[in-house]
Structure 1
């Protein structure tokens, strides 16, 4: 990370040259300049022992410890230096750097803002604050700060990655690509290119990600990681056969590891090769039996092929290896719902929400189980609580609207209008919800509003081309509009899709629906893990 040391090398501590503490400090500074951090640490520890109230010695020892990766210990010495001298900007900056690396973003932000109030032109602090803002998802502020110090950013691959992420998240895709291009132009830095490819892939810019991963030389020390990322990008772009080929080559090269087998299983699933998919995921489990995501993925595939008993066993195994993870309980609830064990399902979803109250899919699962158990008021109360916690969660509005439309014509005269309003809200939050388009299209069709139905159902067919229900409804709409040839094509598609044993449609899989790319992906990638974990794992 960024360590501010230059100012310290010329700062006098106030001790006489012959002072023993100053002598240790001088030797420590020479060791630092020579890159011998171990010796520097030893010398500054002795200087601090002799002069425990010297802010310069304390701050420099904190800086050395930070450079060695001893962040928490470094924080202690930097904090002592600042209590003695609150105006020591170098120590404050180094403390902020530590806090950023430790994920302590609010205090890092506060320290950097204090520095910039005292010294507005401090470009290093501007850079750090921009990266903190990006981690806090304040993307507009991150762009403003990082773009204002291009020289500092261009020297730091992680800063370039942060700026690119901020551009992607503010809708400036071309600027994001230009920023990542600065990483691509560094053939001597394959780590930076690898990081840039990850950023593009996480943003759904699969073409850019593929270009970056393709440009990494075969001699790269993390070539297997790069190959896996390339396979993942191809998978998420829908190029399943290419992803499969990349994974098989990795295995031929001796990289038969758990996550490769996991993604291989999903490739086979997308190709309709269910036995191979389950076999690959079983192999992933055997290679890493402590990884909950392998069990979760086996369970989701078993649910997709109508084997809920096996899915329940996978969920219970996931809970066994990760008892504090809400995901296993969520899968358990889904499997029990399919098995008709509604009381058990309600209990599983409640446990998932105890562990993660903001899990959108568990809220939806709980309400669905309550509805299926005939407890309509409980289901409505669950949705109400969900909206209070997650007022902009589109799939909750989709689920609530679906439930209300089923109540249309009952004792609740407002159910239908409220259901339509909820579905429209879902689409306002996420226009790519094909199921919301389908339901609104079907309702318009039953009301005789054929043009409105056509608009929604054509959108649904574009978003969910593998949904047989959408093609059937669209065929009926074309019939109403006397478009006989188009209607026949849709009914043929409907019959073809209905004849398939399994249709790997992302929209039908609520476990995966939080992904912006509307397709099934391995569970480990559907949760948006912390940046550090994501970069280390993928």
Structure 2
């Protein structure tokens, strides 16, 4: 706004000089007294303002103007002086703030610079509260660490009101985007971004911001609509193309997503993002070979791309390439030793190889930094169950469920742990609660059906309910899972329907994978042929060995 002010000074200077001269001739009053005692200094400030270039020049204008106001000016000149003081103080603050916002990296003295800039802005707004730019700069300075976010939001609110009055739609659109970025309320954020789009349909940041909010909200159709318009307006915008690819992926429109990922690679071949995005789409299309090839390309471009390293590690693990999977995790941790996703993945890889002590050690490391993290605590409990420490797992899960009674995963894991120590009634209670939250969880459906069909406790068996649950689990898994087919057979056996018990048990044997599994499935089938129901009561003895990973296993 300062460029506009410079033009006005010339007009005001001529006007004020003519007015003062006319008044002096008409009244015979000496010129200096008529204009006020501060007029001379105001004239100096006005003259200097026309040629001011340095911060020192601006500071001198401020000093002269303040002195002129203190000594006294007539009403017209006082108003003019206040406007010039406000504009100059803002310009001084803007010049100072450039060392924070326009310098890369920002000045190491930015806290002190901000302090001086805030003092200037306080002076500017005290003399002219209708300067939108001053309110915006005040907000930006308060967003920085140690600032006051309430002042920032209040300042933006005032700037938006002023810009609406001025009908300055382009500036208004920019400030609405800024306010949206600061808002923690998703709906208010979305409202501001929509208003920004309406105010200036050419504002790329507004379109992009709104599309990303839609993505976060899971409103992928709306995101696609916005992103298509954005790509039409700005076809070489990598962020927009990447977001559009992600939106199509979320909608499971993988061919469209792939087309956008290809376009991103064409537009920005030196960015690893395009290859990483395309690799994720290939994963969803079950083309792991192409996914790994793209991740290799991404890491050739950007060896420290953490997302690409972790994804490639997971794919190597899925392919049974344990050494390669571990190597990628270690590369990620070399870049960011405290990266939670990398520590978690290292933990999972250790657990996969049966190194539960190392897996637990990594989980405990994560929990030191974030003790209340439900995901970490649930994973820790799962490790305890896998290591035959169900009672220790239950201790962890009791606290987790106390804090979140609707955590279906925690309820299922605790149900499994309770089942393994023979507490069938308690396990059933947890499974029922889990199903009330996630009625289509095939794992819970299967386990609940199994215990209701096979428990040695007569009071918990319920063949009708078991068959109902088992059939639903089979339908959801397309009758392809051997252990679920086995559960359905157990339900029919409990009901005394030996024909169906043998039918489904035979299918389970045919679908079974692995000698150990096949052996039990065959044993179950023999029971049903003899018209005997299957009975099971696990009573796992707690593993009390110390969980102490070997030092060499953690040194990588």
- Please confirm whether the aligned pair reaches a TM-score higher than 0.5, indicating the same fold: yes
| Alignment pair present for 1:251 and 2:265 | yes
**More relative contact order, 1 or 2 (CA 8 Å, 6+ apart):** 1
Aligned residues: 437
- For 1:335, the equivalent position in structure 2 comes to 349
Could you report, residue by residue, the CA deviation over 1:303-329 in whole angstroms, capped at 9, with x for unpaired residues? 334444432222212111111212211
SS at match of 1:231: helix
Q: Which residue of 46, 68, 75 corresponds with 2:114?
A: 75
Given candidates 19, 44, 62, the residue that maps to 2:58 is 44
Are residues 1:406 and 2:447 paired?
no
Instruction: Tell me, in whole angstroms, the C-alpha distance in 2 between the residues paired with 1:325 and 1:196.
Output: 29
Counterpart check, 1:303 vs 2:341: no
Instruction: Map 1:312-461 onto structure 2 (within 5 A).
Output: 312-383=326-397, 386=400, 391-392=403-404, 398-408=409-419, 410=421, 415-416=426-427, 419-420=430-431, 423=434, 428=437, 439=447, 447-448=461-462, 450=464, 454=468
**Corresponding residue for residue 261 of structure 1:** 275
Could you tell me how far 1:178 is from its partner in structure 2?
A: 11
Q: Which runs of 5+ in 2 are unaligned?
A: 10-35, 71-84, 103-109, 163-170, 455-460, 515-556
Tell me by how many angstroms 1:404 deviates.
Answer: 3.3
Work out which of the residue numbers 144, 147, 151 in structure 2 matches 1:102: 144
2: CA distance, partners of 1:411 / 1:21 = 94
User: Could you say if the C-alpha distance between residues 18 and 190 of structure 1 is closer, same or farther in structure 2, counting changes exceeding 3 Å?
Assistant: same
- RMSD over aligned CA atoms reads 5.6
8 Å CA contact 1:371, 1:379 repeated in 2: yes
TM-score normalised by length of structure 1: 0.61
2:42–2:65 CA contact under 8 A, matched in 1: no
Deviations 1:161-215 (A, max 9, x none): 888972399xxxxxx6997497389553333222222221121111111111222
Q: In the alignment, what sits opposite 1:145? A: none
Verify the 8 A CA contact 1:154 1:182 in the aligned structure 2: yes
Quick one: distance in 1 between partners of 2:252 and 2:509?
A: 21
Q: Which residue of 2 aligns with 1:124?
A: 158
Please report how far the alpha carbon of residue 353 of structure 1 lies from its aligned counterpart in structure 2 after TM superposition.
2.7
| Equivalent-residue separation in structure 1 for 2:38 and 2:424 (angstroms) | 88
CA distance in 2, matches of 1:200, 1:271: 24
Give the structure with higher Rg (CA). Answer: 2
How far 1:375 sits from its partner (Å)?
Answer: 3.2
Q: 1:80: Cα distance to partner? A: 4.0
Indicate if the aligned counterparts of 1:325 and 1:355 stay in contact, CA closer than 8 A.
no
Cα 1:263/1:87, change in 2 over 3 Å:
same
Distance of 1:466 and 1:46 partners within structure 2: 85
The alpha carbon displacement at 1:258 in A equals 1.1
Residue of structure 2 in register with 1:62 after alignment: 93
Quick check: 2:89–2:121 contact (8 Å CA) kept in 1? no
What are structure 1's unaligned runs of at least 5 residues? 32-38, 116-121, 129-150, 170-175, 500-538
Q: Note the C-alpha offset of 1:60.
A: 6.1
Please give the alpha-carbon distance, in whole angstroms, between the structure 2 residues aligned to 1:309 and 1:227.
35
**Counterparts of residues 171-182 of structure 1 (less than 5 Å):** 180=194
Query: What is the rounded CA distance, in whole Å, between the counterparts of 1:375 and 1:329 in structure 2?
Result: 22
Higher mean alpha-carbon deviation, 293-302 vs 370-379, is at 370-379
**Which aligned pairs between 1:202-217 and structure 2 lie closer than 5 A?**
202-217=216-231
Distance of aligned partners of 1:479 and 1:371 in 2 relative to their CA distance in 1, 3 Å threshold: closer
Counterpart Cα distance in 1 of 2:351 and 2:219? 36
Alignment deviations for residues 100-119 of structure 1 (CA, whole Å, 9 cap, x no partner): 643668x3126757x8xxxx
CA contact 2:89–2:124 (8 Å) conserved in 1 = no
Contact 1:353 1:362 in 2 (8 A): yes
Where 1:289 maps in the other structure, the secondary structure is: coil
1:354: Cα distance to partner? 3.0
User: Aligned pair in 2 of structure 1 residues 419, 225: CA closer, same or farther (>3 Å)?
Assistant: same
